[in-house]
Amino acid sequence: MDLAEDLGVMAAAQQIHRLYADLRREREALAEANRRLERLAHYDPLTQSWNRYSIERALDAEIGAAEQFVVMASHCGLESGLGLAERLRAHVAALSVPGLSRRITISIGVATWQPGDTRKSLLARADAAMYRAKHGGRNRVES
């Protein structure tokens, strides 16, 4: 009886090992198929360069990165923050860029930390203030 049990356990172990090997091969095949799909989704098959979707996505990222930045001033209250923001706005407005016919302006939203704030809530208030500045006529500072 012990021999039969041992043979049964060995047969089951072999089958489990075979199934595991099959699963590993299937997983590798799926990963390769996903890599091919990813490539097809982002690259032109003829030129092997980015397709329109990838170009638009990269442009959106670059444009988004060019419009917004954060200045963090430690130990600064609302009045000091508004003063700093106004100085930044004025300096940017005074810039003259060769080859650019129009002046550069910025809209700034100022928010100060409040008890219970998270980084998300603080940035959300700064964003809201910035959008108020933009909607209020641009080239402004709002809190």
Look up 67 and say whether it is catalytic. Answer: yes
Helix, strand, or coil here: 109? strand
In the predicted structure, residue 89 carries a pLDDT above the cut 90: yes
Contact 78, 109 (CB under 8 A): no
Q: Give 39's Cβ-side CA count (13 Å radius).
A: 10
Contact 111, 119 (CB under 8 A): no
What pLDDT was estimated at residue 16? 92
Rounded mean pLDDT of 7-23? Answer: 90
pLDDT interval class at 37 (50, 70, 90): very high
Catalytic hit among 26, 28, 67, 79: 67
Rounded CA separation 48/29 (Å): 23
Q: Which residue has the tokens 């709002």?
A: 142
From 103, 107, 102, 114, select the one nearest 128 (Cα to Cα): 107
Q: What's the predicted TM-score (pTM) here?
A: 0.55
Rounded mean pLDDT of 55-68? Answer: 78
Q: Which fold has domain 68-142?
A: Alpha-Beta Plaits (3.30.70)
In the predicted structure, residue 1 carries a pLDDT above the cut 80: no
